[in-house]
Amino acid sequence: MLSSSSDLDILRTEIEHRNPAQPEFHQAVREVLETLTPVFAARPEYAEPGLLERLCEPERQIIFRVPWQDDHGQVHVNRGFRVEFNSALGPYKGGLRFHPSVNLGIIKFLGFEQVFKNALTGLGIGGGKGGSDFDPHGRSDAEVMRFCQSFMTELQRHIGENTDVPAGDIGVGGREIGYLFGQYRRITNRWEAGVLTGKGPGWGGSAIRPEATGYGNVLFAEAMLRVRGEEMEGQTAVVSGSGNVAIYTIEKLLALGAHPLTCSDSSGYVVDEKGVDVHLLKQVKEVERGRISTYAERRGGSARFVPGGRVWEVPGDIALPSATQNELEEKDAALLVRGGVKAVSEGANMPTTPEAVRLLQEAGVAFGPGKAANAGGVAVSALEMAQNASRTAWSSARVEEELARIMTDIHATCHETADRYGAPGDYVTGANIAGFERVADAMLAQGVI
């Protein structure tokens, strides 16, 4: 029976021993387990033997070979992954990531986080994640197509609209989803629109899906500010990244009257004193697939590019890490606090290290963890599944209204749960416990499976 912090420490050690060389997964599990001690005191039924052990062990882990040919006829072999983590609340749901850094530990950390994130939405979706160590950067459309077709040739055995519904993530946008869906349709001879989300709006996709993660993160940050008696309008914002999440974070900040100052990529960051021009940023990153330095060159005197720098050097009222895991370290958090930051809201998955989270919370900064703050993307993916099931298409206004409602509910759930367990204002504790309760209740009801 798990009933104390020492029991949870023993479990964490066992999990780390059984899953060696997976530091991101260890970090994600540790961050959740550290907050659960008061839950077992209040809800002893959760101490049932094996519940947490089952929650921390994926239901299924799939690894496969992905051979493909480049434009010169050379054969390459990548590795594909799909970790179907927990389906107690519904079919597995979570993105595919194509990036050279992808390995089993990263996919497991993302899948574990997805379980709690999806639970917080209140929608009927379980948690999973997948991807490959394939790098689409610099590859032609034909090469990306051949890779996606090879990847889906194996993946299609394991997915379905009532089983597992992948979506996009880093390196997987509308182009990749299109190629993946085409191959799925080719192999299965079925128009099963609900098997993938993030599709084009003309063939089963949902309005606002590309924007959803960034928009939702800003709405969560706005809710945190309102609790403190402030509004988003007039706030300066520091945003990392320049991919889908960052672009639409910046777009929503502008729409709400905030002043986004920065964007970045692996080469460095741009600071734009006039505020980031989102239309120029989209042209450079989405159309031309160029480097962020090109933005500064075209923007003129208000923008400067800082090669190799860290975006957190720029002072701002709010910070929205929107690039990748562990990008905001303790030294960066110290810089933000000295710069007067009021709130940090995670657009990426686990972009803030545990040491940085502690420093921010101790400094009184409102901190929105990714499993709550960036849940807008998967929420709209679930709305896309609902539209596919009924063969209807909702208006942009309706989807955006639903997104705003879901993000408001997630914020309220996290805030109220933190209060209920004696940790007022601690959104990390609130998100972890609220997500855990929903999944644990479903697991208990369904027996030992």
Strands (E), 41-196: 60-69, 75-86, 92-98, 126-132, 164-167
Q: What pairs with residue 328 in β-bridges?
A: 352
Q: Is residue 312 packed enough to be buried (19+ CB in 10 Å), middle (13-18) or exposed (0-12)? A: buried
- Active-site residue (options: 108, 129, 199, 285): 129
Instruction: Tell me the backbone φ, ψ of residue 265, rounded to 5 degrees.
Output: -145, -170
DSSP codes of every residue in 253-314: HHHTT-EE-EEEETTEEEEETT---HHHHHIIIIIS---HHHHHHHH-TTEEEEET--GGGS
Coil vs helix vs strand at 66? strand
CB neighbour list of residue 440: distance below 8 Å, 6 or more residues apart: 46, 51, 55
Angle between helices 354-362 and 23-33 (to 10 degrees): 40
Tokens, residue 53: 């052990």
**Ramachandran angles phi, psi of 356, nearest 5°:** -70, -40
Residue 318 is classified by DSSP as: E
Residue 233's CB is within 10 A of a number of other CB atoms, namely 11
Judged by DSSP in three states, 339 sits in coil
The answer to whether residue 129 is catalytic is yes
Cα diameter, the chain: 63
Which residues does the annotation mark as catalytic? 129
